[in-house]
Amino acid sequence: MSYQSTREKLKDYRRQIAALRQKMRETQSSVEPEEVKDYTFTRPAGAIAKLSELFGDKDTLFVVHNMGTSCPSCTLWADGFNGVFDHLRSRAAFVVSSPDTPEKQQAFAASRGWRFPMVSAAGTTFPEDMGYWRDGRATPGVSVFKRAGDKIVRVSDTSFSPGDDFCGVWHFFELIPEGAAGWQPKYQYQ
C-alpha cells in the first residue's frame, strides 16, 4: 500500500478512535458513583494519610495503583506522570499508591526524580477493594474519586497495560512499521 494510501487509512482509523472516545466520555459522565470508605495510608516517618486528606483543596482525586519498585512497567508509567503532574494537579489532586513501604517509595522516587506524592497501601485492603490486587499481588491502574458531601465516591477506574492510553511510549512505537518489536521497559538503558 502506498505511503499516502496508508496515511489516509490511518487518519480514518484515528477519526474512528476519536468518535469512540467521545462515546466513552458520554458513558463515563453517566456513571453512578460507588461510595468507598476513608482508607488510611502511610507516608514516611510513620505519618498517616486518610483518603479524604489526599484531595487537598480539590474535589477530584486521581489515585494511581502502582505495583511498586518490583515493576519496570509501573516505573515507565510513573516516569511519564512526572511530566504531566503539574498539568494534572491544576485540575485534580494526584497521588501514586503502591504496596512498598514509604521509605522504599521515597528512595526510589528520589532516584527517578519523581515529584508527585506517594502513599503506601501496605497492610490495607485498598488495592484489593478497588480491584487492583490479584493472585496475591498488586496490579496497575488508576481510580478517580470525588467528594460527595461528607462521603467519598469512586467515579471511574481503568487498568494499565502496554499500549494503553496512559503511556505515550507505546504510541510512539506504533508509528514504527514493526511496532515495539518485543521491546520491554527497563530501569536503566545503556
pLDDT tens for each residue of 88-145: 999 999 999 999 999 999 999 999 999 999 999 999 999 999 999 999 999 999 999 9
Rounded-to-integer distance, Cα 98 and Cα 114, Å: 14
pTM of model > 0.75:
yes
Q: How far apart are CA 141 and CA 66, in angstroms?
A: 7
For 163-172, the pLDDT digits (tens) are: 899 999 999 9
Cα 117 to Cα 12, 15, 92, distances in angstroms: 39, 36, 13
Nearest to 68 by CA among 112, 15, 12: 112
Express each pLDDT in 40-53 by its tens digit. 999 988 899 999 99
Sketch out the chain's domains with CATH numbers.
Answer: 31-173 (3.40.30.10)
C-alpha distances out from residue 179 to 19, 74, 100, 169, Å: 24, 20, 33, 11
